[in-house]
């Protein structure tokens, strides 16, 4: 570590609004150059929302309405309830992004939430989350640790920690999460529920505080695939407020189409299984072997994930650092921030985004800047090569199934280094890079802990991914 490196790290940190001690800067520089990143920060509960602050056992909810808001009592989601991750705008409820640095009471509700209200859902309030959607465990929200209702010694998963815990505890039927590298699927898998990362750009993202716009998606968590499918069907489709949203919808005529799996070919891809622990790989294989009872043929398929785990960590951190240095202005695939959300972001940056975010963002941001963008370009190239291999796999099969997490849901306080992140997000993040739909379903258990499988289909074939996920649900233990 040279003095020049340290001076450069200080410049980068200040440019991004981080006011850090010399010793922390040195520590972060060390992890940047060693390619290892610690993620440790203690969380203290605080802050009141508009409406009132929920007081649920899991600490899953933040600001909630006094009574659930219902716009219509007819529609495909009538009679069900909703919590919304706290980085998606709901008019009249304080939004925090899980950080004490960020606060705004939006005047408009995000189109994704609006569409669920149109479909008859009852809106309960906001769900706790990891600060700015970073972190796969649910331990670092400024508003306190989220407890996993399945087992308090196991992490709830993140970053949509509150969304998953609220659904798993039965507090709500549906929760919205956001998934940039696995943040819907990871907590869904940890809490033993269904989570959908839709195709990139299928669900409009306006009213959401971006993390890495080329990877970001909004998706539902629910206790079964039919409910999650109703939510996706309601939310899919373009909205003029998000210029990146695609002119696509879910292709289903009726929900009965979900049962239509006979004749599909599902690939069992090599590296996602090889990189999983034996117990998880074997547990998932036992369930995929049963898919033939539904008329689905399963075949082994070559799919090398390459170095997509590292590529994801670079792309995610670099894009977030651009957002920070631009004071919340999104470019490229940015979703068109509302001015009030952008101002709240700029104010948060002014206050400092906190140590948890600094530890995650600064090492790759430092490498991005000091290499003149070469590390970002290399990560993108890695992603493009992966997409070419994925396309070849989809020439042979309709969809893929693999373990969602490579390991059992982790125990609390055990995921601290960059190396610890990889088994948690290594099978999920590649499909954010590829933009494909990916649906996680609990299929079996190990010593009482959920084991989940993920169904992946080509981009915009979300209906196919959901059909395979529903097949997994039908043959699950």
Question: Given candidates 88, 133, 168, 400, which one binds ligand GLN under the rule CB under 6 A?
Answer: 133
Print the binding letters for residues 272-301 with ligand GLN: x by CB under 6 A, - otherwise.
Answer: ------------------------------
Q: Which two tokens stand for residue 60?
A: 């899953």
Print the binding letters for residues 78-117 with ligand GLN: x by CB under 6 A, - otherwise.
Answer: ----------------------------------------
- Residues 333-392 close enough to bind ligand GLN by CB under 6 A: none
Task: Point out the catalytic residue in the list 37, 85, 163, 276.
Answer: 85
Pair 81, 126: CB distance under 8 Å = no
Question: Given candidates 18, 102, 211, 376, which one binds ligand GLN under the rule CB under 6 A?
Answer: 211
Alpha carbon of 401 to those of 49, 152, 452: distances in Å? 40, 29, 10
Question: Given candidates 59, 159, 161, 163, which one binds ligand GLN under the rule CB under 6 A?
Answer: 159
Angle value at C-alpha 224, between 56 and 91, nearest 5 degrees? 50
Q: Which is nearer to ligand GLN, 252 or 431 (CB)?
A: 431
Q: How far is the CB of 164 from ligand GLN (least distance, A)?
A: 12
- Verify whether residue 183 is a known catalytic residue: yes
Q: What is the DSSP letter of 53?
A: E
Pair 193, 227: CB distance under 8 Å = no
Q: Which of 427, 466, 441, 406 is nearest to 260 (CA)?
A: 466
Number of other CB atoms surrounding residue 299 within 10 Å: 10
Dihedral, 56, 68, 113, 76 alpha carbons, nearest 10: 110
Q: What is the DSSP letter of 155?
A: B
Q: Which is nearer to ligand GLN, 192 or 364 (CB)?
A: 364
- Residues 183-202 close enough to bind ligand GLN by CB under 6 A: 183, 186
In this chain, which stretch among 66-74, 139-147, 176-184, 335-343 interacts with ligand GLN, using CB under 6 A? 176-184
Q: How far is the CB of 213 from ligand GLN (least distance, A)?
A: 12
Q: At a CB cut-off of 8 Å and minimum separation 6, what does 79 contact?
A: 73, 120, 122
> How many chain residues are in contact with ligand GLN, going by CB under 6 A?
15
At residue 278, the 3 state secondary structure works out as helix
CA distance 91 to 33: 43
In this chain, which stretch among 95-103, 104-112, 182-190, 282-290 interacts with ligand GLN, using CB under 6 A? 182-190
Question: Given candidates 131, 136, 138, 450, which one binds ligand GLN under the rule CB under 6 A?
Answer: 136
Beta bridge partners of 178: 218
Largest Cα–Cα distance of the chain, in whole Å?
65
CA distance 477 to 467: 18
Question: Given candidates 17, 111, 131, 158, which one binds ligand GLN under the rule CB under 6 A?
Answer: 158
- Verify whether residue 197 is a known catalytic residue: no
181 near ligand GLN (CB under 6 A): yes
Q: How far is the CB of 428 from ligand GLN (least distance, A)?
A: 7
Q: Supply the Cα-derived Rg of the chain in whole angstroms.
A: 21
Question: Given candidates 111, 182, 198, 463, which one binds ligand GLN under the rule CB under 6 A?
Answer: 182
| Helix 308-325 × helix 374-396 angle, to 10° | 130
Question: Given candidates 17, 135, 204, 423, which one binds ligand GLN under the rule CB under 6 A?
Answer: 135
In this chain, which stretch among 127-135, 378-386, 401-409, 458-466 interacts with ligand GLN, using CB under 6 A? 127-135
Q: Cis check for the bond before 159: say yes or no (omega within 30 of 0).
A: yes
Q: Which of 66, 63, 221 is nearest to 143 (CA)?
A: 63
426 near ligand GLN (CB under 6 A): no
Q: Which is nearer to ligand GLN, 211 or 337 (CB)?
A: 211
Question: Given candidates 56, 58, 142, 179, which one binds ligand GLN under the rule CB under 6 A?
Answer: 179
208 near ligand GLN (CB under 6 A): no
Q: Which of 231, 233, 211 is nearest to 223 (CA)?
A: 231
Q: At a CB cut-off of 8 Å and minimum separation 6, what does 124 contact?
A: 61, 64, 65, 68, 81, 82, 83, 171, 172
Q: Which of 383, 450, 461, 477 is nearest to 185 (CA)?
A: 450
180 near ligand GLN (CB under 6 A): yes
In this chain, which stretch among 132-140, 261-269, 289-297, 435-443 interacts with ligand GLN, using CB under 6 A? 132-140
- Residues 16-75 close enough to bind ligand GLN by CB under 6 A: none
Beta bridge partners of 266: 298, 399
Q: State the residue number with the nearest CB to ligand GLN.
A: 183
Q: Which is nearer to ligand GLN, 147 or 180 (CB)?
A: 180
Positions in the binding site for ligand GLN (CB under 6 A)? 133-136, 158-159, 179-183, 186, 211, 316, 425
Residues annotated as part of the active site: 85, 159, 183
């Amino acid at each position: 570590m040279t003095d020049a490196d340290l001076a450069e790290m200080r410049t980068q940190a200040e440019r991004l609004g981080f006011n850090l001690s010399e010793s922390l800067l040195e520590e972060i520089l060390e992890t940047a150059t060693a390619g290892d990143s610690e993620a440790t920060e203690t969380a203290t509960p605080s802050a009141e929302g508009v409406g009132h602050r929920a007081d649920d056992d899991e600490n899953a909810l933040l600001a909630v309405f006094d009574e659930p808001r219902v716009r219509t009592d007819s529609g495909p989601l009538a009679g069900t309830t909703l919590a919304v991750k706290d980085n998606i705008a709901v008019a009249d409820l304080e939004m925090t992004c899980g950080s004490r640095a960020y606060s705004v009471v939006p005047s408009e509700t995000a189109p994704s939430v609006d569409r669920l209200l149109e479909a008859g859902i009852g809106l309960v309030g906001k769900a706790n989350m990891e600060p700015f959607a970073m972190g796969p465990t649910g331990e670092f929200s400024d508003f306190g640790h989220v407890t996993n209702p399945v087992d308090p010694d196991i992490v709830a998963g993140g970053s949509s920690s509150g969304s998953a815990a609220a659904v798993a505890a039965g507090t709500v039927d549906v929760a919205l999460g956001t998934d940039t590298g696995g943040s819907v699927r990871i907590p869904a898998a940890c809490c033993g529920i269904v989570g959908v990362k839709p195709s990139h750009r299928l669900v409009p993202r306006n009213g959401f505080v971006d993390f890495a716009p080329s990877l970001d998606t909004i998706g539902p968590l629910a206790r079964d695939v039919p409910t999650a499918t109703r939510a996706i069907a309601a939310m899919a489709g373009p909205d003029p407020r998000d210029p990146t949203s695609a002119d696509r919808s879910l292709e289903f005529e009726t929900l009965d189409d979900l049962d239509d799996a006979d004749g599909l070919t599902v690939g069992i891809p090599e590296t996602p299984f090889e990189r999983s622990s034996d117990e998880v790989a074997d547990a998932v294989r036992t369930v995929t072997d049963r898919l033939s009872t539904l008329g689905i043929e399963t075949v082994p398929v070559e799919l090398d994930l390459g170095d997509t785990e590292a590529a994801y960590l670079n792309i995610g951190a670099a894009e977030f650092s651009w957002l920070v240095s631009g004071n919340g202005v999104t470019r490229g695939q940015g979703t068109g921030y509302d001015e009030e959300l952008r101002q709240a972001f700029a104010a948060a940056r002014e206050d400092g985004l906190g140590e948890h975010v600094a530890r995650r963002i600064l090492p790759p941001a430092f490498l991005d800047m000091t290499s003149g963008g070469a590390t970002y370009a290399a990560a993108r190239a890695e992603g493009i090569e992966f997409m070419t291999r994925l396309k070849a796999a989809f020439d042979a099969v309709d969809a893929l199934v693999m373990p969602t997490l490579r390991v059992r849901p982790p125990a609390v306080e055990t995921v601290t280094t960059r190396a610890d992140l990889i088994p948690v997000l290594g099978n999920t993040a590649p499909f954010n890079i590829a933009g494909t739909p990916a649906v996680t379903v609990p299929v079996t258990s190990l010593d009482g802990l959920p084991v989940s499988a993920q169904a992946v289909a080509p981009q915009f074939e979300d209906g196919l991914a959901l059909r395979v996920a529903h097949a997994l649900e039908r043959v699950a233990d």
